[in-house]
Amino acid sequence: MQALLWWLIPLGATVLAVLFVMLRSRPAKPTTAEDSMQRLRRMQEAMERPMPSNTRVIPPDDKRADA
């Protein structure tokens, strides 16, 4: 009987893990037209912004010697 109780612990953990994975892998809710248009507008605004320069900026409190 004690062995059965010990086997219920991993069995219960497995069932909980399967339920968790099933809940996490559900398909996302369909987006509304308003949400989709807002996301498109935000993406277009981000695409219009200039790219940051490739230069490295060292903060003034950095005490390293770059020699």
Residues contacting residue 58 through CB under 8 Å, at least 6 positions apart: 64, 66
Single-letter amino acid code for the residue at 41:
R
> Residue 39: which residues within 8 A CB-CB, separation 6 or more?
31
Residue 16: what residue type? Answer: L
Which residue has tokens 């953990």? 13
Indicate the pTM of the whole model.
0.43
Q: What is the pLDDT of residues 20-61, one digit of tens each?
A: 999 999 888 878 899 999 999 999 999 998 887 777 767 777
Q: Which residue is associated with the tokens 């010697």?
A: 65
